[in-house]
Amino acid sequence: MRTLIRKKQTTGRADPAPSRWAWRMQRMMLTPGIRLALRAGIPFCITLTAGTIYLADDARRDAIAQTVSEARASIEQRPEFMVNLMAIDGAGDELASYIREALPLDFPVSSFDLDLDAMRGLVSEIPAVEKAAVRIRPGGKLQIDVTQRTAVALWRNEDGLALVDADGIYVAAATSRFARPDLPMIAGKGADKHVAEALDLIDAAGPLGSRLRGLVRIGERRWDVVLDRDQRILLPETEPRRALERVIALEGAQDILTRDVARVDMRLARRPTVQMTNEAAEERMARQAAFRAQNK
């Protein structure tokens, strides 16, 4: 006997779950690094490859370089970027001329072609310049502000006369002693390295007034004080001011420098020595000889 109920026919359905490889691929695509590579890395590589192929041609590279150069020149050569003159403030005529020689600029020149830091370094290396500032002012003016070293003494050396500051640094050349009569004179090798000590001695020699001619550095160790009438005070290496003050005290008490004295040697503090001039020594010897002859 047949059954009256028909069995439902089963049809095959696809499994909705992804395969193992598809699942791994989906997981990999969700990785931040892979997503970044797809979004930026691949376009970058394509662009780089295309640019490399395009720039492989020498003519194309030259054309691009020429275009960039022309565009840059058209901007740099505009009138508002041109420098037409140089102004130097704070320097004397000699120093200003020296600065212009150190910076040989051919005006007009574009401000883009000027290295202000390098120019400031060149100006600062000039011995007579203590410090310098370089800037470009509106109107196409190269402004150089200079602080010049102040000369405090005239130094006579083997090359001639030079003005030096308190640190013994060269300031300018001097044509003669009369070019700066207001400055004291120092001389001798190494005198420029002891300007501060020389100024201290000159201050101590103030009571000598106009008789003071200057100081001479002897053997790069000590000073001689030079007076008029070719007189000299030989000072020791240590405590020279104290020795000079002793001589000035003797001058005030006994007029020792007013006499026919050629040298006052203070190098030995315990035994100062006075040397007479040749004329005075000969006159003294003549008087002694006459006295001996009279008493015979």
- The backbone torsions φ and ψ at residue 94, rounded to the nearest 5 degrees and listed phi first, read -65, -45
Q: Are 185 and 212 in contact (CB under 8 A)?
A: no
| Eight-state DSSP code of residue 211 | G
The pLDDT confidence band at residue 18, using thresholds 50, 70 and 90, is low
pLDDT, residue 162, reads 92
Task: Give pLDDT tens digits for 231-271.
Answer: 999 999 999 999 999 999 988 888 888 888 889 999 988 88
Looking at residue 207, its pLDDT comes to 93
pLDDT of residue 30: 76
pLDDT of 127:
85
Give CA–CA dist 82/76, Å, rounded: 8
Give how far Cα 293 sits from Cα of 56, 87, 241, 283, 286, Å: 117, 82, 46, 15, 10
For 54-108, what is each residue's pLDDT tens digit? 888 888 888 878 877 777 766 667 777 788 899 999 888 888 888 999 888 888 8
DSSP, collapsed to helix, strand or coil, labels residue 296 as coil
Percentage of the chain lying above the pLDDT 70 cut: 86
Identify the structural domains of the chain with CATH numbers, from first to last.
79-148 (3.10.20.310), 153-258 (3.40.50.11690)
What per-residue confidence (pLDDT) applies to 193?
Answer: 94
Query: What pLDDT sits at residue 57?
Result: 82
Residue type, 107: F
What DSSP line would sit under 226-283, residue for residue?
EEGGG-EEE--SS-HHHHHHHHHHHHHHH-TTTSSEEEEE-SSTTS-EEEE-HHHHHH
pLDDT digits (tens, 9 = 90+) for 151-202: 999 999 988 999 999 999 988 888 888 888 999 999 999 999 999 999 999 9
What is the pTM assigned to this prediction?
0.63
Residue with more model confidence, 215 or 31: 215
What average pLDDT does the segment 47-55 reach? 85
pLDDT computed for residue 78 by the predictor: 76
Per-residue pLDDT averaged across 277-292, rounded?
61
**pLDDT of 32:** 83
Residue 9's pLDDT is 53
215 pLDDT above the threshold of 50? yes
pLDDT at 1: 46
